[in-house]
Structure 1
Amino acid sequence: MPPPPPSIAGKAACFLSFAAARDRCFSHRFLAAGLRPLAVHLPDAADPVTTVHMWVPASPPRNPLVLLHGFGASATWQWYPYLRPLIAAGFDPIVPDLVFFGNSCTRLPDRSDMFQAWSLKAALDAIGVKKFGLVGVSYGGFVGYKMAAMYPDAVEKVAMVCAGVCLEEKDLAEGLFPVAGVDEAAALLVPRRPDEVRRLVRLTFVRPPLIMPSCFLWDYIKVMGSDHIQEKTELLHALISGRQLSTLPKLKQKTLIVWGEQDKVFPMELAHRLKRHLEGNSRLVVIHNAGHAVNLEKPTEVCKSIIDFFQEPVAEDSNDEMV
């Protein structure tokens, strides 16, 4: 939905929060699709050191598919277009908030993707989900990749959407990305001012909104982006600092790689690098006229690729590239 003209936006900002209203709308869509919010306390409710919030099916899932969000808005904002098509195709979506996003948090100091993976696996175990497919977008793909490597008996198949898991810290200094270091990456992905939000949107969307009024952007930052800023910055430092391709494990599971052809955050080089790294155990789907936010720019195409992939028998071999 395009934002209203600045004159209308300025008047509306005095009476309501557009971001809060939209957030409620997306939550209602999850409820209407048959999902319910659930907070899982680890290790237990008496002393919840870590809390993982999830949207889960009202009935025990028979074909669970875990959907992991990236940086930016909460899980509901990133996955709402996928619920009904996935459910119609026979899947039971489970949509968690990663730690320090949405309503998930921890008192522990660990900021690694390994800790994120452990937290999610413990939460899934707590609700009785032992085997599942997994889809990760961007940062969620880093966590999903780690989960697949750590728990190969639980994660049956994996889809990575614009998830630059093959990046190395040296790539930043060598100019592969629009930032030159970890601090600049954190400033980009954890925006604190409207001009920073505009820069991020213009990098992630091929066709960003023409009008992005500051009042709307301040409202978005207040409602969706003002929590756990320091912790999210630490997550990025833990993810990128010292990262080397030589230490990245090769997944045993069949893996779908979906990429926006014009991704400026994680360029296509990383998609091809991941496909080479997995040595014939993957399929690459390139989505035209889409950037890093391909899951929001082209939800129908991305969702179809996900459904087709997860409906295939697990044992089927594939080393295709589709455009």
Structure 2
Amino acid sequence: MRTTASMNMKPPAHGTSTLLALLSLSLLLLRLLLRLRLAAFRDAALSLHLLARLRLRPVHLRLPAGRDGAGAGAGAATTLRVWCPAGPSSKPPLLLLHGFGGDSKWTWARNLPRLCRHFHVYAPDLVFFGAHSRSGSPLRSVAFQARCAADAMRLLGVPRYDVAGISYGGFVAYRMAAAEASGAVGRVVVMTSGVAATPAEMRAMAAREERTVEEALLPETAEGLRSLVRRSMHRPPPWMPDFVLRDFIQLMCVDQRKERAELLQELLKTGAGFDPLPVLTQETLIIWGDKDQVFPVDLGHRLHRHLGGRSRLEIVKDAGHALQLEGADDVNRFIKSFLLDERNTGPGLGMAQK
């Protein structure tokens, strides 16, 4: 039997405070548009859409301190922002974990409208991403991120949930299912994530690049961000003017850049933190773009073989690493089918024709 967290959560206060938040966002949108701050405008518009249309609200959680040094001392406090359902429902809970390309709003912009129809969605900004998820902890491991996400779901009163993660979020999702939240995670969705690669293989892939992994994934110039977008998407946007790219860099790549660079170095050093990689006991859906230039599709096949009969692999044709954006319709359909419609159907291998 599936249990939702909504029964244990108090519904948020509505009325004046909600109206003021919506009015403030509306005024901010107008001001940003007049100043041609298009990336910041998009960010505020996404917040307005989540609040007003999808009925998701941002919750700031102070996580438990002291375990494994994660919060030892007042200066090491960890805070996580999670976009949560605004009220109770009977829908099954689903935790969405983003990658390095942005925070939860930007990553799941094309997925949340569809997924919120079928699931009680929780979308955190992982630690050191966004303006509100911060920590004084020196830990940078995938295990630390998994522990923080698991603690957040416990604080929100969610005893059982499915989890989906893309790229870096896929490492965190796998780690949660195998260790930090193994008893709470029902089913797992891993998208374009190099979980099956050894740390040595990931370091070798990084060494073949013309720039450091920090320069590639945390760009400081418009040209660097343009290169990242083209590397991440099989069909990148045709219009990417410098002023928009610079605005996005200020919005997403400046704050906590040092901490995120340390996350990358720890990922290259230890991967998901397992040796050897365990076989998950949960049913797992693997989704990959056949044109992925970051983690090649062979890693998807390797993970499918590693997990054996409890996994299913779906490959989206003509899609790159930013699979949740380029192949949004397919990703949404696969997640709904796997988590709701076909829970008792055997795993297999598929190809989504676009």
TM-score, normalised via structure 2 length: 0.81
For the Cα contact (< 8 Å) 1:182–1:237, is it kept in 2?
A: no
CA distance in 2, matches of 1:16, 1:320: 46
SS for the counterpart of 1:80 is coil
CA distance in 2, matches of 1:173, 1:73: 22
CA distance in 2, matches of 1:105, 1:173: 27
Return the match for 2:54 from 33, 37, 61: 33
Which residue in the other structure is 1:80 paired with? 109
Q: Does 1:154 align with 2:184?
A: yes
CA distance in 1, matches of 2:100, 2:229: 12
SS for the counterpart of 1:56 is strand
Q: CA RMSD in A?
A: 2.4
For the Cα contact (< 8 Å) 2:202–2:268, is it kept in 1?
A: no
Q: Which amino acid aligns with 1:139?
A: Y
Q: Which runs of 5+ in 2 are unaligned?
A: 1-31, 66-72
CA distance in 2, matches of 1:173, 1:143: 19
Shift of 1:144: 0.6
Q: Which amino acid aligns with 2:324?
A: N
Shift of 1:36: 0.6
Q: Deviations over 1:173-201 (max 9, x none)?
A: 65xx4653798222211111112111111
For the Cα contact (< 8 Å) 1:206–1:289, is it kept in 2?
A: yes
Shift of 1:294: 1.1
For the Cα contact (< 8 Å) 1:173–1:181, is it kept in 2?
A: no
SS for the counterpart of 1:149 is helix
Return the match for 1:56 from 84, 87, 102: 84
SS for the counterpart of 2:109 is helix
CA distance in 2, matches of 1:88, 1:155: 21
Which residue in the other structure is 1:7 paired with? none
Relative to structure 2, which stretch is displaced further, 194-203 or 306-315? Answer: 306-315
Shift of 1:43: 2.5
Q: Deviations over 1:88-117 (max 9, x none)?
A: 23x111100000001211000000010001
Q: Which amino acid aligns with 1:215?
A: F
The number of residues matched between the two structures is 308
For the Cα contact (< 8 Å) 1:68–1:136, is it kept in 2?
A: yes
Q: Does 1:163 align with 2:184?
A: no
Residues 245 and 270 of structure 1: is their aligned pair in 2 closer, same or farther, counting only changes over 3 Å? farther
Q: Does 1:23 align with 2:43?
A: yes
Q: How does 1:81-160 map to 2 (within 5 A)?
A: 81-89=110-118, 91-102=119-130, 103-150=132-179, 151-160=181-190
Which residue in the other structure is 1:43 paired with? 64
Residues 294 and 30 of structure 1: is their aligned pair in 2 closer, same or farther, counting only changes over 3 Å? same
Q: Which amino acid aligns with 1:68?
A: L
Which residue in the other structure is 1:4 paired with? none
CA distance in 1, matches of 2:287, 2:163: 13
Relative to structure 2, which stretch is displaced further, 267-276 or 237-246? Answer: 237-246
Relative to structure 2, which stretch is displaced further, 189-198 or 53-62? Answer: 53-62
Shift of 1:65: 0.3
Q: Which amino acid aligns with 2:157?
A: G
Relative to structure 2, which stretch is displaced further, 240-249 or 67-76? Answer: 240-249
CA distance in 2, matches of 1:154, 1:245: 20
Q: Deviations over 1:30-89 (max 9, x none)?
A: 112011110000238x95800010000012454110011111222101112222322323
Q: Which amino acid aligns with 2:302?
A: R
Q: Deviations over 1:270-302 (max 9, x none)?
A: 101101111221100000110001111111111
CA distance in 2, matches of 1:61, 1:191: 40
Q: Which amino acid aligns with 1:76?
A: K
Return the match for 1:214 from 220, 223, 242: 242
SS for the counterpart of 1:146 is helix
Which residue in the other structure is 2:317 paired with? 288
Residues 148 and 172 of structure 1: is their aligned pair in 2 closer, same or farther, counting only changes over 3 Å? closer
CA distance in 1, matches of 2:233, 2:183: 36
Residues 281 and 182 of structure 1: is their aligned pair in 2 closer, same or farther, counting only changes over 3 Å? farther
Following TM superposition, where does structure 1 have runs of at least 4 consecutive aligned residues deviating by more than 3 angstroms?
A: 242-246, 312-317, 319-323
Residues 236 and 181 of structure 1: is their aligned pair in 2 closer, same or farther, counting only changes over 3 Å? farther
Residues 289 and 40 of structure 1: is their aligned pair in 2 closer, same or farther, counting only changes over 3 Å? same
Q: Which runs of 5+ in 1 are unaligned?
A: 1-11
CA distance in 1, matches of 2:229, 2:304: 27
Shift of 1:212: 2.0
Q: Which amino acid aligns with 1:146?
A: R
Residues 214 and 165 of structure 1: is their aligned pair in 2 closer, same or farther, counting only changes over 3 Å? same
The share of aligned pairs that are identical, in percent, is: 39
CA distance in 2, matches of 1:301, 1:279: 23
Relative to structure 2, which stretch is displaced further, 209-218 or 156-165? Answer: 209-218
CA distance in 2, matches of 1:230, 1:18: 25
Q: Which amino acid aligns with 2:251?
A: V
Shift of 1:169: 2.9
